[in-house]
Amino acid sequence: NEGCTPPKHKIIRARTLLYAVVMSVIGVLMVWGLATKSTLEANVLKDRSPPYVLLSDGRIQNGYTLKLVNKASEPRTMLLDVAGLEGLSFKVIGMDHEGSETLELPVEGFGVDRYRILVAAEAGAPRRQITFTVKDAETGEADVNISSFRGAEQ
């Protein structure tokens, strides 16, 4: 076997290049996912029973539970705004606020906080969609939830 030459080994093969490209794409997607990950989550759940309450002044009130998830390590202040009906007002149980202005809600770092919200509107208000907007006071990161407001005619 004097005329045989040893086989040449290719260092870079098509399969090796394919594996490198696939691993690079996965790595870039993971870095992008972590870099753009939301650090705020807000969920609004409407009370099922009773669907509404008729107040002594003739207005109609609906109850909601707001769950705020802060995925950041530091405590944050969130701004809550509720909109969607004429003459709408809201209050958060346990906080000294009532009206239609934006309300500040404290949220602990790496924490989940729950707030009870009572939304009131004029008696003739039709069933409508209302919007709960939660926004970080510093960064402006926001989460919007849409829920329904039920009145006496339903």
Q: pLDDT digit string (tens) for 22-48?
A: 999 999 999 999 888 889 999 999 998
Q: State mean pLDDT over 112-122.
A: 94
In a domain, 17, yes or no: no
The yes-or-no verdict on residue 3 having pLDDT over 70 is: no
Write out the residue range of the structural domain in which residue 99 sits. 40-149
In a domain, 63, yes or no: yes
Identify which has the larger pLDDT, 142 or 123.
142
The yes-or-no verdict on residue 101 having pLDDT over 90 is: no
The pairing of beta strand 111-121 with beta strand 60-70? antiparallel
Tell me the pLDDT band of 117, cut-offs 50, 70 and 90: very high
In a domain, 126, yes or no: yes
Look at residue 2 in the predicted model and tell me its pLDDT: 65
In a domain, 34, yes or no: no
* Global pTM value: 0.77
Identify which has the larger pLDDT, 1 or 62.
62
Q: Measuring CA to CA, how many Å separate 11 from each of 17, 19, 51, 95, 143?
A: 10, 14, 70, 68, 51
Number of separate domains in the chain: 1
CATH of the domain at 66: 2.60.40.10
Direct distance between the N- and C-terminal alpha carbons of the chain, in angstroms, rounded to an integer: 96
Look at residue 99 in the predicted model and tell me its pLDDT: 65
The yes-or-no verdict on residue 1 having pLDDT over 70 is: no
